[in-house]
Amino acid sequence: MVTIFTEVFGIQTYMVNGVRSLKKSSSTANHFQPTAILDLVVYHNESKSMQRIKEFSWAFLYENILNNVIKNSIASYMAELIQKCLKQPEANNDLFIFCEEAFLELDKADKVVAANFALFFTLHLTHFFGFRMADNHNSVNNVLDLQEGNFIDHQPTHPYFIDGKNAELTAQLLKVMQPHELQDFKLNQDIRRTLLLRYLEYYALHIHEFGQMKTLMVLHEVL
């Protein structure tokens, strides 16, 4: 069984035939690695919770993501984050295109862009689920309220906020529209780790039963 985010049907669970065959199992497993981009021909029945795949093939062959430890860890984090946000099996074409393009951009990214990619993706994915942070940072509104998702002019009474340099960096990251712009962010691992943890805290405040990210520990190690 595999869980796949599809362009036409949204997130779906599929039974893949032929996995138990010794001749087919290795090839099949290669295709269904996390983050793989495939062309599928499927049987779809809306009354069933599990669907079946008739045919599958590569839609795109990565050059780096599947064999580069750092990029694979980042991509696995992205895939888990997508899955945690997708609650219903409904099509979302704009989200699908954003995710597909993000994986393709990560695959060809240089080291600096790749190192900052998880921050970029985590911030911008929120747009498709209705809780994107407001880009209203200025010299007065310089504290990011994570409960409200906007910058305010004072520290709130609750502990869910980002201030100081990290609030300024977040405001700058919110303005990044293309991954290559991440080249301008010279961040160390401690800043990246702190920011990512706070952004995931933001997700937990806005998505019911968000839970813990299993890929986060590995991502912290490789970055």
Per residue in 61-79, pLDDT tens? 999 999 999 999 999 999 9
Task: Give the model's confidence band at 223: pLDDT under 50 very low, under 70 low, under 90 confident, else very high.
Answer: confident
Q: Where are the domains of the chain?
A: 1-61, 63-222
Q: What is the model's pLDDT at position 22?
A: 43
Tens digit of pLDDT for each residue in 159-206? Answer: 999 999 999 999 999 999 999 999 999 999 999 999 999 999 999 999
Beta strands, E only, the chain: 2-6, 10-15, 37-43, 50-60, 143-145, 150-152, 161-162
Whether residue 88 contacts residue 128, with contact meaning beta carbons closer than 8 Å, is answered with no
Residue type, 30: N
Question: Tokens representing 28?
Answer: 């099949």
Percent of the chain with pLDDT over 90: 82
HSE, CB side, 13 Å, CA atoms: give it for residue 110.
7
Alpha-carbon span 188 to 190, nearest angstrom: 6
Give pLDDT, residue 222.
Answer: 83
Residue in the structure block whose two tokens are 């062309």: 39
| pLDDT above 90 (res 50) | no
Give me the pLDDT at residue 1, please.
87
Rounded-to-integer distance, Cα 33 and Cα 53, Å: 15
State the CATH architecture for 63-222: Up-down Bundle (1.20)
Q: Assess contact for 28 and 16: CB atoms under 8 A.
A: yes
Cα–Cα dist 173/119, whole Å: 8
Q: How far is CA 200 from CA 109, 150, 213, 216, in A?
A: 23, 16, 9, 10
Q: Angle formed by the axes of helices 111-125 and 93-108, to 10°?
A: 170
Query: In sequence order, which residues have a C-beta less than 8 Å from that of residue 196 and are 6 or more positions away?
Result: 118, 119, 122, 216, 219
- Predicted model pTM: 0.92
- pLDDT grade, residue 126 (50/70/90)? very high
Q: pLDDT at position 207, please? A: 96
Single-letter code of the amino acid located at 129: F
May I ask the CATH class of domain 1-61?
mainly beta
- Tell me if 1-61 shares its fold with 63-222: no
